Structure 1
Amino acid sequence: MSGKIVSLDVREILRAKGEPFQLIMETVSTVGDRDVFELHATFRPDPLIRVLAKQGFANSVVEEEPDHFIVQFYKEDTDIPYFHLDNRELDPPGPMVRTLDFLDSHKACAEGELGLEIWNVRVPAFLLPELDERNYNFQVDDEGDGTVRVKIRRA
């Protein structure tokens, strides 16, 4: 059973000195067990991370720019956090390019502090040898419903 990424950008609310907590919690209430809630904020929201951790959410945080943090919340117990990319709507070679760009541009992946989980429509046959060459381990899970999940992390 595949999931989806539910994205919410509250940066403009925060810049206008607004309080997005209620909107965030309303959005979180719509997230299914296989879904990922993706929050775009102007800072790392540590209080929210603690609140959602108490509700069973793991998280991964990526700083895209000094005032743009992407925090993903998901219900899975893992030893390291995983950032999720949904590549199912991309035509080849889009999924491979997007995946390698993410791995290349995020130091935490290279250092093994952050894993990456990609969602593709098929097993990424050309990506897997590239991951081997770059010293990444991967686990492929074909869910049989048009979603192949690949978990990637530094070897």
Structure 2
Amino acid sequence: MAATTMDSGEAGKGGPPEWMALALDAAPMDVRGFLAQGEDPFAAIMEAAAVVEFGGFLVIDAPFNPSPLRRVLAGRGFSSYGRKLSEGHWRVFFHLDGGADWESGAEVQVLPEGAMTWREDDGIHIDVRKLSPPNPMLAILRLIEGLDGDETVVVHHEREPHFLIPELAERGWRIARVANEVVNVRLWLERAV
């Protein structure tokens, strides 16, 4: 994989947006330290975003593509463009421009339990962090039961959900891969062969 990778939201547009040249001068806010200490950087990011003036920039360094954060800031008028700089290091550029250049193909849906879902190149993502039990399991099971075909589901969870494993097996699913980051355990779910 190349050292710099554009995210799926920009891939069809032929490269970075025009405003990126100006955003490169902005100093990044590195939230990887927060996450390594088990702290949620959301409040600090929102504070930093609140002082950005129209036409200004916010740059975040994170250990993964923070899609839910990008959706929240899009709702506040920020366009975004993400680059994977290396394994475990994403740099996401935010431009306060009314959200004109946001990942147009990436729509978020909120399920009855409060989980967010969206589609990326590697499958359907579901974020169940911050939900109280049993809502994470209910949201995941609702999602997989409604899928046809061999779609991959990427779960964003706060911890490894051990009670989910037998429920998946009953439905013909399995956990194919796990990435265990401090406040984002990602699970790739696939139909069992």
Compute the TM-score of the two structures, normalised by the length of structure 2: 0.42
Amino acid at match of 1:149: R
Q: Does 1:152 align with 2:185?
A: no
Q: Secondary structure at the match of 1:7?
A: helix
Aligned position for 2:71: 7
- Following the alignment from structure 2 to structure 1, what is the Cα–Cα distance between the partners of residues 118 and 160? 26
Aligned length: 102
Specify which of 91, 102, 116 is matched with residue 143 of structure 2: 102
- Give, in angstroms, the shift of residue 61 of structure 1: 10
1:7-63 Cα deviation digits (max 9, x unpaired):
28x9xxxxxxxxxxxx8xx7342x45469xxxxxxxxxxxx76xxxxxxxxx8999x
Aligned position for 1:91: 132
- Give, in angstroms, the shift of residue 138 of structure 1: 1.3
**Structure 2 segments unaligned to the other structure (5+ residues):** 1-62, 85-89, 92-103, 112-116
| Alpha carbons 1:137, 1:153 under 8 Å: kept | yes
- Following the alignment from structure 2 to structure 1, what is the Cα–Cα distance between the partners of residues 179 and 79? 28
1:105-146 Cα deviation digits (max 9, x unpaired):
x3xx3421x211111011011111111111112134242312
**Structure 1 segments unaligned to the other structure (5+ residues):** 11-22, 36-47, 50-58, 65-69
Q: Secondary structure at the match of 2:71?
A: strand
Q: Highest CA radius of gyration, 1 or 2?
A: 2
Q: Does 1:111 align with 2:163?
A: no
* RMSD of aligned residue pairs (Cα, Å): 3.4
- Following the alignment from structure 1 to structure 2, what is the Cα–Cα distance between the partners of residues 60 and 137? 26
| Alpha carbons 1:120, 1:147 under 8 Å: kept | yes
